[in-house]
Amino acid sequence: MELKLSQIVEKLGGELRGDDLLIAGCAGLQEARAGDISFLAGAKHAGQARASLASALIVKDSEDDGFICSRIVTRDPLLYFARLAALFHPGKTAIPGIHPTAIIASNAVIHPDAQIEAGVIIGDRVRIGAATRIGAGSVIGDDVLIGEHCLLHPRVTIYHDCSVGDRVILHSGCVIGSDGFGNAWAGDHWEKIPQFGRAIIGNDVEIGANTTIDRGAASDTVVAEGCRIDNLVQIAHNVRLGRHTAIAAKSGVAGSTHIGDFCLIGGNVAISGHLQVADRVTVMGGSNVASDIREAGVYAGVTPAIPHSKWLRNAVHWRHLDDLAKKIRQLEKQIAALTEKGE
């Protein structure tokens, strides 16, 4: 596929500055070669952009300074690049048909335009929408609903009664609807609490490899439309993720926590259970969220790595923090008493 810069602008908008070149692909600044287009994601990368072999750049107007190559000027170069990459790399579409090795219940309803690959197992009363592709070795439990234009990569598992919306991408090893961690202590042993809720995945969601979304204990676990969840993330039972919230790898959300719309959760974040997190909250990577977050903003609770000898010395002080706090309160009371006496 080759496009002139003017054709790209016609499709995606922006302003063309320089020669109307023919573009054969898109790439990062360091990887780009002649015939490629790349993008400048901030002034700090301007030096790399000038040294790049790319034939054209996507830049902001405020950062279009000193470039001799052709440019497309736009408000958000990264977003523009993402849309351009989708033009050059549209991905595979479903090839209608069912592989002969698939095992499908007789009462499952599969749209004629769907693709079912080798070794797929589909349970009773499953419904799969148009142009959806179910990757090899995937297992779809009884009474599951899967919408249109979805892509399930190989070895995805969806447990019974769960629901997946339209245009959802589930990567390999993803598990939707596994039992939540519900157990009651009976004095000398654990007894399992039945998990009879569902896991509901909204439209336009992408869930990474080996990520698990537990089903609800009684009510449902809900991942709302537009969410992005990275690899190796654990979402526990009865969690609700708001619209267009993104969670980076190795993070975990404990049971019954509700996270609002448009939140950004960094990598390796631990969020405790039964919490409320407001809309438009950003939690920095490595943080531990142990209480409600009621207002939008950026939050962090990270202890940076320090030399081990200093860590040991600080640990000694931390063990005595409560005693130190009591002594400070006593001193404050003594100072207040002396102040009242005028001493």
Asked whether the beta carbons of 105 and 87 are under 8 A apart, the reply is no
State the maximum Cα–Cα separation within the chain, in Å, rounded to a whole number: 94
Return d(Cα 150, Cα 111) in angstroms, integer.
12
Q: Which residues of 220-251 are buried (b: 16+ CB within 10 A; e: fewer)?
A: bbbbbbbbbbbbbbbbbbbbbbbbbbbbbbbb
DSSP letters for 154-185: TT-EE-TT-EE-SS-EE-TT-EEEEPP--EEE
User: Both tokens of residue 139?
Assistant: 């297992």
Q: How many CB atoms lie within 10 A of CB 35?
A: 16
Q: Are 58 and 74 in contact (CB under 8 A)?
A: yes
Task: Name which of 100, 58, 92 is nearest 77 in CA terms.
Answer: 58
Give CA–CA dist 294/136, Å, rounded.
43
CA distance 272 to 254: 5
**Cα 181 from Cα 192, distance rounded (Å):** 9
Q: What is the CB neighbour count within 10 angstroms for residue 82?
A: 12
Provide the 10 A C-beta neighbour count for residue 17.
Answer: 17
Cα-based distances in Å from 49 to 17, 41, 46, 109: 16, 10, 5, 52
List active site positions: 237
Q: How far apart are the first and last CA of the chain?
A: 86
Query: What's the rounded Cα separation, in Å, for the pair 112 and 91?
Result: 20
